[in-house]
Structure 1
Amino acid sequence: MNRRKTLALLLTAAALPGCAALTVRRDDESFSARDYRLATDDRVRLIVFGQDSLSNIYMVDGSGAITVPLIGAVTVEGLTTTQAAERVADRLGSGFIREPRVTVEIDTYRPFYIMGEVTRGGQYDYVAGMSVENAIAIAGGFTPRAVRSSVTVSRKIGDETDRFNAPIDYTLRPGDTVIVRERWF
């Protein structure tokens, strides 16, 4: 009997350091399209008033830029849509169009990813306001061995990746990776 207790205690102690590294957190910042920062795989609708040939939908490429006729590649990664519009207007205004009026809108957010103990892990389209529970449903639901109370969310913030435990009702953001853990008992 003592061996079982000792083994259970050792297993519990071994699992604790892994739990301490991740913190459970709630939405500390509300997600809004106005404050959204563009990144690779976002699709934006660029509207240049009076210039229908320039108005189009552009994909943010791997280098964080969109390629616009006349002005070429414009780096928009890390910018809000308002800042991206100003950057494009500045480039167009420097010798191509007099007083350009430019608007940038999100056409399609970058995808989210889900893996681990779900039926069909992979990459899926992000929908504004999506919760972890919605993401799991899109991926076909939990497998029988899944931890159902919380998941690990991996989020890139600038050049760093933040990993944290999140409850099932946590609101995801574009580009998040959801990891559904396996339960042992």
Structure 2
Amino acid sequence: MRKTLSTLLIALVLTGCAGRTRPEPSAELTVVETSTLPPPDRADLTAADRPALIGPLDTIQVDVFGVSELTRELQVDASGRISMPLVGTLDARGKTAGELADMIETSLRGRYVRNPRVTVNIQNSVSQVVTVDGQVVEPGLYPVTNQMTLMRVIASAKGLSEFAREDDVVILRTVDNKRMAGLYNIGAIRRGAYVDPPIYANDVVVVGDSPQRRIFRDVVSLAPLLAAPLIAILQ
């Protein structure tokens, strides 16, 4: 039994100690052989614009120029609607701040305000979130920004857990009312093998479980005397 445990431990440790693969140049990746990377320019530091959409329970600020009675902070209700004096109820769900401002101006124009000028700002968004589940340290809901990517989402969730499987990360997304899924390899992204994919609101990220890591943990817990010298080698 002791010999069997020893053989299993050695096999698992050697698997975990495999050398790290160097980044390989490709059409999407330039590997710099020098000690320093060139600095990014201004365009590299700005993400492509994504429309920020208003959703249920978001908080918005509505300013009507020259009409202080209509200027106020509002919370979108659970059905995605807002209510304002002289304007009534409007469906704000799925609208940008500019589109909602145009709707308010249209409701006011000609009846109550001659030339209304309205601005809308999203103060706090709780609807633009990504769900992170599976083998991460802190599963939960995280806000989505213009520059949100898979690696940033994992970092927001405090990283991968002890039993995470790097090559089994799924992004679930609804596109054109169709459920779609993409399989990603975090280890390959870290090596620069392919681009860190963008994450959008309502995406669901699920990090898979590694049975091998659980077996290693269980074997080590059952054979502490045998495992100690092997773990020492790794340190």
TM-score, length basis structure 2 = 0.55
Percentage of identical aligned residues: 26
Which residue pairs with 2:117 in the alignment?
A: 101
Distance 1:132 1:104, change over 3 A: same
The one of 55, 58, 67 equivalent to 2:71 is 55
Higher helix share: 2
| Preserved contact between residue 168 and residue 185 of structure 2 (Cα < 8 Å) | yes
- In 1, the alpha carbon distance for the partners of 2:63 and 2:179 equals 33
Q: 1:183 aligns with which of 199, 203, 210?
A: 210
Distance, in Å, in 2 between the alignment partners of 1:75 and 1:87 is 9
| Residue matched to 2:139 | 121
Structure 2's unaligned 5+ residue stretches are 1-46, 187-195, 213-235
Post-superposition offset of 1:94:
5.3
**Counterparts of 1:60 and 1:166, CA distance in 2:** 35
Q: Distance in 1 between matches of 2:153 and 2:78?
A: 25
Deviations 1:140-179 (A, max 9, x none): 2111221224632233456554433356522222332222
User: Contact between 1:31 and 1:173, CA under 8 Å: does it hold in 2?
Assistant: no
Cα contact 2:134–2:207 (8 A) shared by 1? yes
CA RMSD of superposed structures (Å): 2.7
Q: Look up the equivalent residue of 2:104 and give its one-letter code.
A: V
| Distance in 1 between residues matched to 2:176 and 2:53, nearest whole Å | 10
Tell me whether 1:81 sits opposite 2:97 in the alignment.
yes
Q: How far did residue 31 of structure 1 move? A: 5.5
What is the CA distance between 1:101 and its match in structure 2?
0.9
Q: Secondary structure at the match of 2:166?
A: coil
The equivalent of 2:166 in structure 1 is 148
CA distance in 1, matches of 2:165, 2:93: 35
- The one-letter code sitting in structure 2 at the alignment partner of 1:145 is F
Aligned residues: 155
Alpha carbons of 1:81 and 1:131: their partners in 2 closer, same or farther (altered >3 Å)? same
Distance 1:138 1:46, change over 3 A: same
Distance 2:183 2:66 in 1: 48
Q: Which moved more, 1:41-50 or 1:81-90?
A: 41-50
Deviation track 1:28-65 (CA, whole Å, cap 9, x = no partner) reads xx8624x4443334433322112233233333332222
Partner of 1:43: 59
Pairwise CA distance, 1:92: 2.0
CA distance in 2, matches of 1:89, 1:166: 45
The answer (yes or no) to whether the contact 2:166–2:185 under 8 Å persists in 1 is no
Separation in 2, partners of 1:130, 1:165: 18
Aligned counterpart in structure 2 of residue 32 of structure 1, from 49, 52, 58? 49
Given that 1:41 and 1:111 are in contact with CA atoms closer than 8 Å, whether structure 2 keeps it comes out as: no
SS in 2 for 1:147: strand
Aligned equivalents of 1:80 and 1:102: distance in 2?
13
